Chain A
Amino acid sequence: MIYLDNAATSWPKPPEVLRAVAEFLEHAGGNPGRSGHRLSIAAGRTVYDAREAVAELFHSPDPLRVIFTQNATHAINLVLQGLLHPGDHVVTTGMEHNAVMRPLRALEKAGVRLSVAACSSDGALVPAAMRQALSSGARLAVVNHASNVTGTLSPLTEIAEIARRQGTLLLVDAAQTAGVIPIDMSALGIDFLAFTGHKGLLGPPGTGGLVLGDRVDAALLHPIMRGGTGSRSESEEQPEDLPDKFECGTPNGAGIAGLGAGIRWVRSRGVEAIRAHEVALTRQLVEGLLAIPDVTIYGPADATQRTAVVSFTIRNRRVSEIGLRLDEEYGILTRVGLHCAPAAHRTLGTFPEGTVRLAPGALTSREDMDATLCAIERLVKG
């Protein structure tokens, strides 16, 4: 079997991740931060260590500004629903996932003004369009770091610069890039970084987080959930302290333990080394697919301008049929359709049919890519 759906969820996970989850349940099973006994402290330490690992990975100086969430969608909603009020202006791009578009469309109905900056047909954000959209002043800009459909990388340095000059806060959706592309929040000037734990960070599903940049005043953000935090228990008001303000109820301790182990695995291998491996796999896929007649690929031809996500279609073939045959006849697991990103497929011209998406990962080999190209070539022939 060849698993090429790492853009949805990475698999397999390193054995260290599995061990960390089991270890947490076996030895650190208390409720982190709720009690002062040893099992609660052990659980609290595990969660705190993961917080520190996240902060170090993204070059954020303060682990207390790392808020654990269920996933990137949850983190994005914390910012969009917590920050934007009727009358505010928010800008996003034509390549966003529904994790961004659905909350934004709902906020638009509630009176938030929404502008969508156009992207070119290979999914690349046009900085001039972003500059234009931000020129009238916006409270927030929301951009993906890389598209989940084409892997196209956003020009983050440029966007951050434009946003800063306009006094606009910047939310980056790093669901596709955390763990596979180096991210330096401080250097880039990112105000909010939303990430998920179960893709490039190789952690379990149900983990993710929001990292608040150094310049953001957390008082601007209203919590979208309130409840027990184990802190300031005498009060019936949600505390303002970070991270508790945005983390209530018992956290996913076992998952966070696994996420911490995933990040340690990624850092020991090196994000740059993982990136180099994935660029090589992507180049192999792009060049191989371009050589097969009747195949169209989407996104930039240059593998360094994209993550390891390659979408393609075959002339006169349904994507669902291609996906099914790759699975049943060749044991190659892909994802077909719209990838929860109708806006991106409209930009690419592949709406509503969608594409077949190949997403290798840190643990995919060059031989896997050879076998995949071979299978697609045979599919095209018959």
Chain B
Amino acid sequence: MSGLGVALFHTTSAALRAEKTLLKHAVPTKLVPTPREFSSDCGMALRFEWGRAEQVRTLLAEARVEIAGLHPL
């Protein structure tokens, strides 16, 4: 376990909206190529500290961004 996790999205627009939302709420995050073991949905995923998974889920739900999956790395 790396202590990191990724959020997956169905579209690039959703990934970019999610990135902006998290950064606005001071949640450190980085856009990375989607790890192939999870999904081929969208080229980009957001990596973040897995300890913040619940916060990420809540913030993105409030911003109406649909998450395709949250996974620890």
Contact = CB atoms under 8 A, between A and B. Distances in A.
Interface of A: 32-37, 40-41, 44-45, 47-48, 51-52, 61-64, 229-234, 239, 241-244
Interface string B4-30: 000000111111110010000000000
Question: Majority SS of interface residues in chain B?
Answer: mixed
Question: Majority SS of interface residues in chain A?
Answer: loop
B16 A231 contact: no
Contacts of A44: 12, 15-16, 44
Nearest to B39: A234
A244 B40 contact: no
B10 A239 contact: yes
A182 to B, nearest CB: 24
B59 interface: no
Contact of B13 (A41, A64, A232): A64
A90 B40 CA distance: 41
Contact of B64 (A35, A62, A239, A241): A62
B8 to A, nearest CB: 11
10 closest cross-chain pairs (CB), A and B: A36-B33, A33-B12, A48-B16, A241-B10, A231-B11, A231-B42, A36-B43, A244-B11, A241-B11, A234-B40
A241 B12 contact: no
A48 B43 contact: no
B46 to A, nearest CB: 11
Nearest to A41: B31
Given A229-B11, A231-B10, A231-B41, A48 B17 contact: yes
Given A231-B11, A232-B10, A239-B10, A36 B40 contact: no
A41 B40 contact: no
A55 to B, nearest CB: 10
B11 A33 contact: yes
B30 to A, nearest CB: 10
| Most chain A CB atoms below 10 A, which of B13, B32, B41 | B13
B24 to A, nearest CB: 12
| Most chain B CB atoms below 10 A, which of A36, A51, A63 | A36
Contacts of B17: 48, 63-64
Contacts of A51: 13
A41 B66 CA distance: 19
Given A44-B16, A45-B16, A35 B43 contact: yes
A33 B13 contact: yes
Contacts of B66: 241
Given A33-B13, A36-B31, A44-B44, 12 more contacts: A33-B42, A36-B43, A48-B12, A48-B16, A61-B64, A64-B65, A231-B11, A232-B10, A234-B40, A239-B10, A239-B11, A242-B13
A34 B11 contact: no
A230 B12 contact: yes
29 contacts: A33-B11, A33-B43, A35-B43, A36-B31, A36-B44, A36-B45, A41-B44, A44-B16, A44-B44, A47-B13, A48-B17, A48-B20, A62-B64, A63-B13, A63-B17, A64-B14, A64-B64, A229-B11, A230-B11, A230-B12, A230-B43, A231-B12, A233-B41, A241-B10, A241-B11, A242-B11, A242-B13, A243-B11, A244-B11
